[in-house]
């Protein structure tokens, strides 16, 4: 009997079309636009000006607070302009647009592919360098990693959990990364363990990636303290709180962070980025992006520079199929439909999904039939049907009492609802409003 | 017999005792409430819309009675009459707040603002606005999901299905501001009704630079500054590529309307401009001097600013339509508008 989290969960069709596809390096585009807000927290402050020449890996926007991240140039060339450009949400956002000229890297970056196992930096230096390299959670939430690695005073961390779950259907970027860069991920894990001063790490991998479990288990034999945990396939196991529950059986209290139960969770992609930053001096400016979909000609995993237009990625996968209804940034469960294919890839883009028409439209919203399916699938033990009604009627106090802020927005409730009710949409609205009320109360 | 007597006596004694205790308790914990609060509440409209800034009419009545200076307080629903009646009861002076009306500051109908994508999420503007920029290239304009209409308690708004934009029925609007609160895009605004219900405003909230703004919507304000230059009363300010007309300074001369290259400035309830200057002189005789001297550059087609009422709306609404006129260029006239006969 495989482990999984205790509450709710669903198992949608996996559709991992791009599984086993080697990571291809996407050609560098002629122009990139790098948004200055690619992470949770304060947007970064640009430190380059129009006309400046930049090299690959050069810092172009500095972090503007503790919860913020540096941004590095993904290409070499000239800064064309700093202007508002359409981002994935359809809103205009300040971006640094760079015209590409050659591919000249910063001298400090070690471009060799040799594995470097020896960790020379101290714990504090690792945290500092992670921050400098602009590393954020690559699972999709884009929370600055150095913040997670700085354990607040009074709290202790005794275990590091790595997220190799990739519970979103369709996506395969983390899977492929584990297959190809397994050793690097394990060294990265050791770096993180050193930074957190823990001697135990678990890498959770879902059982639909048997090759990855086997591969990683074999590699991990040489590394002390790292174990691989096979997990039952269940969405949303990649959620921090669900993964902690699945791996070590601890429950994070409502409204608290995982550190409360002594755990820190990092994604395997992030761990690879940490390895590159610490051992190779390479800041985060590229990532693996899955491009996939039912009728996509050549679904695959692409090593993509941040700022590359999404349409270049789609082109590399064989273009937009005729019957495409939506282009989704991220996975099918939590991803968001893109308003345009010109938007750039950011640090948080884990996948580009081309959904055919028939799968991409919502059905007609019907009345709630009280079937309670949403309640049974909610991994946080909430009552989605009630939260939606409270949100529609603007009863915010009650919403707060019903723990609306605990919602992880996994979308299981909307997925399972037979009446096609927009449950998550209204819960998000409620989260936004209740969050505002709570913040104003704390002031 | 004896039992009955004892029972009656005991119960009566208990009752009397309780009454005495209750009397003293009531005296001790007596809360004095000014009877005028009830009287004032009587004259208030009992709409409980919150337009005055208080949670309901009762709270407003309390404020009227308790505060020393009530010149800043106003009931937008009841207007001057109600305030006078309330002032009589409380014996204080009330201010004279100019009556206001809600205006829709977006003219991005389907013809003016081409669609670039489509939204099929929850039918709620706030949800749509937090998800993405909207179905068109303009991320500032109306989303067309009608949250303002839902918020209106006075039947003063409806969605025009052809343009996809909300319309304010001026006669019903009490300027409570519920639509202004509800709109996540800040499109609704309360403005001065103005003399003879005439007013001029920039019907756009797009803060993009000229090029992108014009590309996204043919009637967008491009921030060119022509109106700012031509305005003799410093009523127009350009901020973030967007013109804003201060209704307190505006003298309704309409020069800005004439110079606006994108017809983003709307004039409401003005008489139709005729191509011949002398005729115009007569028509606008009562308006500020400036207007008279301004020649209309091209013959303008008369159009309705806030498009037609649904059939259900009766005569009263019809009159307000008659007044709504906007001068626009010919090429901007929409088929829908052409269908409608020019109002009598």
Written as one string, the DSSP assignment of B143-165 is --S-HHHHH-SSS-EEEETTTTE
Whether B208 contacts chain A with CB within 8 A: yes
pLDDT digits over A331-373, tens only?
Answer: 999 998 888 888 999 999 999 999 998 888 888 999 999 999 9
* Averaged pLDDT score across all residues of chain A: 92
Out of A243, A260, A279, pick the residue that ends a domain. A279
What's the Cα-to-Cα distance from A209 to each of A22, A52, A176, A280, rounded to whole Å? 15, 45, 10, 28
Positive/negative CA dihedral, B283, B284, B289, B293:
negative
Count of domains observed in chain A:
2
Question: Per-residue DSSP letters for A316-378?
Answer: HTT---TTEEEEEES-TTT-EE-S-TTSBP-TT--EEEEEEHHHHS-----------HHHHH-
Regarding the domain delimited by B35-90, which CATH topology (the fold level of the hierarchy) does it fall under?
3-methyladenine DNA Glycosylase II; Chain A, domain 3 (1.10.15)
Which residue in A361, A426, A432 is closest to B120 by CB distance?
A: A361
pLDDT of residue A265: 94
Give the percent of chain A with pLDDT over 90.
78
Contact B120 A362 (CB under 8 A): yes
Give the percent of chain B with pLDDT over 90.
38
Contact B131 A91 (CB under 8 A): no
Give the confidence band of A209 by pLDDT, cuts at 50, 70, 90: very high
Give the confidence band of A230 by pLDDT, cuts at 50, 70, 90: very high
pLDDT of residue B294: 41
pLDDT digits over A397-421, tens only?
Answer: 999 999 999 999 999 999 999 999 9
**Mean pLDDT computed over A91-104:** 91
Question: Could you tell me the residue ranges of all domains in chain B?
Answer: 35-90, 100-339
pLDDT of residue B229: 92
* Averaged pLDDT score across all residues of chain B: 80
Is residue A379 located within the same domain as residue A275?
Answer: no
Nearest chain B CA: its distance from A324 CA (Å): 13
pLDDT of residue B79: 82
pLDDT of residue B301: 40
pLDDT of residue B295: 42
Rounded to whole angstroms, the Cα distance separating A77 from A104 reads 8
**Mean pLDDT computed over B324-341:** 40
Rounded to the nearest angstrom, the gap between the alpha carbon of residue B286 and the centroid of all alpha carbons in its chain is: 26
Is the pLDDT at B340 greater than 70? The verdict is no
Is the pLDDT at B334 greater than 90? The verdict is no
Nearest chain B CA: its distance from A97 CA (Å): 17
* Residues 6 or more apart in contact with residue B176 via CB below 8 angstroms: B47, B49, B50, B51, B76, B77, B153, B154
Whether B133 contacts chain A with CB within 8 A: yes
In a domain, A87, yes or no: no
pLDDT of residue A269: 94
Which residue in B117, B127, B133 is closest to A91 by CB distance?
A: B133
Contact B132 A89 (CB under 8 A): yes
A373 touches A417 (CB < 8 A): yes
Tell which A residues from 326 to 355 touch B, by Cβ distance under 8 Å. 336-337, 339-340
Question: Which among B268, B288, B284 is positioned nearest to B276, based on CA atoms?
Answer: B284
Residues of B in contact with A429 (CB under 8 A): 124, 126-127, 130
pLDDT digits over B101-158, tens only?
Answer: 999 999 988 889 988 888 888 889 999 998 888 888 888 999 999 999 999 989 999 9
In a domain, A117, yes or no: no
Query: Searching chain B, which residue's CA lies closest to the CA of residue A430?
Result: B127
3-state SS, residue B61:
helix
* Residues 6 or more apart in contact with residue A217 via CB below 8 angstroms: A228
Bridge partner residues of A105 (DSSP): A56
Contact B133 A90 (CB under 8 A): yes
Whether B172 contacts chain A with CB within 8 A: no
In a domain, A249, yes or no: yes
**Mean pLDDT computed over A150-161:** 91
In a domain, A363, yes or no: no
Q: Is the peptide bond before A236 cis (omega within 30 degrees of 0)?
A: yes
Out of A279, A313, A331, pick the residue that ends a domain. A279
Nearest chain B CA: its distance from A362 CA (Å): 7
Which residue in A84, A361, A425 is closest to B122 by CB distance?
A: A425
Rounded to the nearest angstrom, the gap between the alpha carbon of residue A121 and the centroid of all alpha carbons in its chain is: 26
In a domain, A2, yes or no: no
pLDDT digits over B56-101, tens only?
Answer: 899 999 999 988 888 888 888 888 888 888 888 888 888 777 888 9
Structure tokens at A6: 């205790």
pLDDT digits over A263-322, tens only?
Answer: 999 999 999 999 999 999 999 999 999 999 998 999 999 999 999 999 999 999 998 888
pLDDT of residue B318: 39
In a domain, A295, yes or no: no
pLDDT of residue B48: 87
Is residue A134 located within the same domain as residue A271?
Answer: yes
Q: Strands A59-62, A300-305: parallel, antiparallel or unpaired by DSSP?
A: unpaired
**Mean pLDDT computed over A43-69:** 92
Rounded to whole angstroms, the Cα distance separating B148 from B183 reads 6
Rounded to whole angstroms, the Cα distance separating A122 from B222 reads 56
Rounded to whole angstroms, the Cα distance separating A328 from A410 reads 15
* Residues 6 or more apart in contact with residue B321 via CB below 8 angstroms: B304, B306, B308, B309, B343
Is the pLDDT at A89 greater than 80? The verdict is no
**Mean pLDDT computed over B165-177:** 91
Decide which of B38 and B299 is more confident. B38
pLDDT of residue B275: 60
pLDDT of residue A323: 87
Is the pLDDT at A145 greater than 80? The verdict is yes
A387 touches A430 (CB < 8 A): yes
Whether A435 contacts chain B with CB within 8 A: no
Residues of A in contact with B126 (CB under 8 A): 429
Query: Searching chain B, which residue's CA lies closest to the CA of residue A327?
Result: B117
Question: Which among B62, B144, B154 is positioned nearest to B106, based on CA atoms?
Answer: B144
Q: Is A89 exposed, middle or buried (0-12, 13-18, 19+ CB in 10 A)?
A: middle
* CATH number of residue A137's parent domain: 3.40.50.11540
Nearest chain A CA: its distance from B121 CA (Å): 7
Cα torsion B327, B332, B337, B339 to 10°: value is: 120
In a domain, A28, yes or no: no
pLDDT of residue B326: 40
Domain that holds residue A436: 373-442
In a domain, A230, yes or no: yes
ipTM: 0.84
pLDDT digits over B284-297, tens only?
Answer: 444 444 444 444 44
Contact A432 B120 (CB under 8 A): no
Mutate to test the interface with A, among B116, B118, B132, B140 (most CBs of A within 10 A): B132
Mutate to test the interface with B, among A82, A90, A358 (most CBs of B within 10 A): A90
Whether A393 contacts chain B with CB within 8 A: no
Out of A279, A296, A322, pick the residue that ends a domain. A279
Mutate to test the interface with B, among A81, A89, A339 (most CBs of B within 10 A): A339
Contact A339 B117 (CB under 8 A): yes
Is the pLDDT at B299 greater than 80? The verdict is no
Residues of A in contact with B116 (CB under 8 A): 339-340
Question: How many Cα atoms within 13 Å fall on the side-chain side of residue A131?
Answer: 19
3-state SS, residue A425:
helix
Q: Strands B199-202, B265-268: parallel, antiparallel or unpaired by DSSP?
A: antiparallel
Quick one: DSSP state of residue A237? T
Contact B130 A432 (CB under 8 A): yes
Decide which of B19 and A153 is more confident. B19
Is the pLDDT at B331 greater than 80? The verdict is no
Q: For chain A, how many helices (H) and strands (E)?
A: 14, 17
């Amino acid at each position: 009997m495989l482990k999984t989290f205790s509450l709710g969960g669903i198992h949608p069709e996996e559709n991992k079309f791009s599984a086993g596809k080697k990571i291809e390096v996407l050609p560098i585009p002629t122009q990139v636009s790098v948004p200055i807000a690619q992470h949770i927290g304060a947007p970064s402050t640009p430190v380059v000006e129009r006309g400046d020449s930049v090299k690959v890996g050069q810092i172009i926007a500095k972090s503007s607070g503790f919860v913020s991240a540096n941004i590095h140039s993904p290409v070499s060339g000239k800064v064309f302009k700093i202007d508002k450009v359409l981002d994935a949400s359809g809103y205009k956002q300040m971006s640094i647009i760079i015209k590409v000229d050659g591919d000249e890297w910063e001298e400090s970056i070690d471009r060799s592919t040799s594995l470097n196992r020896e960790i020379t930096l101290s714990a504090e230096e690792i945290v500092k360098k992670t921050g400098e390299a602009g590393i954020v959670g690559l699972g999709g939430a884009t929370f600055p990693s150095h913040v997670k690695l700085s354990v607040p005073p009074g709290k202790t961390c005794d275990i590091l959990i790595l997220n190799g779950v990739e519970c979103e259907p369709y996506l395969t970027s983390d899977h492929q990364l584990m297959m190809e860069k397994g050793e690097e991920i394990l060294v990265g894990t050791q770096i993180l363990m050193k930074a957190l001063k823990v001697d135990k790490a678990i890498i959770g991998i879902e059982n639909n990636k048997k090759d990855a479990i086997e591969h990683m288990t074999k590699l991990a034999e040489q590394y002390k303290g790292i174990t691989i945990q096979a997990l039952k396939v269940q969405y949303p196991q990649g959620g921090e709180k669900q993964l902690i529950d699945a791996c070590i059986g601890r429950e994070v209290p409502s409204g608290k962070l995982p550190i409360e139960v002594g755990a820190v969770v990092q994604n395997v992609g992030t761990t690879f980025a940490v390895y590159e930053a610490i051992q190779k001096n390479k800041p985060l400016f590229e990532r693996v992006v899955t491009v996939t979909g039912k009728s996509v000609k050549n679904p695959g995993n692409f090593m993509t520079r941040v700022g590359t237009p999404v349409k270049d990625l789609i082109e590399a996968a064989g273009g937009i199929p005729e019957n495409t209804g939506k282009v989704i940034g991220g996975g099918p469960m939590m991803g968001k439909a893109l308003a345009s294919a010109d938007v750039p890839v950011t640090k948080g883009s884990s996948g580009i999904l081309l959904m055919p028409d028939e799968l991409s439209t919502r059905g007609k919203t019907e009345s709630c039939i009280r079937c309670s399916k949403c309640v049974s699938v909610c991994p946080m033990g909430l009552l989605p049907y009630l939260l939606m009604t409270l949100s529609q009627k603007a009863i915010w106090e009650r919403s707060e009492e019903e723990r609306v802020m605990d919602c992880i927005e996994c979308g299981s409730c909307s997925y399972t609802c037979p009446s096609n009710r927009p449950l998550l949409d209204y819960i998000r609205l409620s989260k936004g409003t209740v969050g505002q009320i709570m913040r104003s109360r704390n002031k | 017999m004896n039992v009955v007597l004892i029972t009656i006596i005991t119960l009566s004694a208990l009752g009397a005792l309780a009454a005495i205790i209750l009397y003293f308790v009531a005296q001790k914990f007596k809360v004095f409430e000014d009877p005028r609060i009830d009287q004032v509440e009587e004259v208030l409209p009992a709409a409980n819309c919150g337009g005055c800034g208080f949670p309901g009419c009762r709270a407003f009545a309390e404020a009227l009675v308790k505060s020393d200076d009530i010149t800043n307080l106003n009931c937008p629903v009841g207007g001057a009459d109600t305030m006078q009646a309330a002032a009589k009861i409380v014996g204080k002076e009330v201010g004279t707040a100019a009556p206001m009306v809600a205006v829709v500051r977006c003219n991005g109908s389907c013809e003016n603002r081409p669609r670039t994508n489509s939204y099929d999420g929850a039918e709620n503007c706030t949800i749509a606005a937090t998800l993405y920029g909207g179905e068109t290239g303009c991320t500032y304009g109306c989303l067309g999901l009608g949250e303002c209409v839902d918020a209106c308690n006075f039947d003063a708004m409806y969605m025009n299905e052809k343009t996809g934009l909300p319309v304010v029925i001026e006669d019903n609007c009490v300027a409570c501001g519920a639509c202004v609160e509800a709109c996540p895009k800040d499109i609704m605004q309360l403005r001065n009704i103005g003399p003879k219900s005439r007013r001029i405003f920039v019907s756009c909230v797009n803060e993009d630079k000229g090029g992108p703004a014009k590309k996204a919507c043919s009637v967008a304000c491009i921030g060119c500054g022509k109106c700012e230059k031509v305005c003799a009363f410093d009523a127009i300010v350009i901020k973030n590529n967007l013109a804003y007309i201060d209704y307190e300074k505006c003298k309704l001369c309409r020069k800005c309307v004439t110079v606006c290259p994108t017809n983003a400035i709307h004039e409401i309830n003005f008489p139709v401009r005729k191509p011949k200057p002398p005729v115009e002189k007569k028509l606008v005789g009562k308006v500020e001097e400036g207007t008279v001297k301004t020649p209309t550059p091209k013959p303008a087609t008369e159009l309705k600013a806030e498009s037609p009422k649904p059939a259900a709306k009766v005569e009263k609404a019809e009159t307000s339509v008659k007044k709504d006129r906007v001068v626009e260029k010919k090429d901007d006239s929409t088929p829908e508008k052409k269908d409608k006969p020019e109002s009598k």
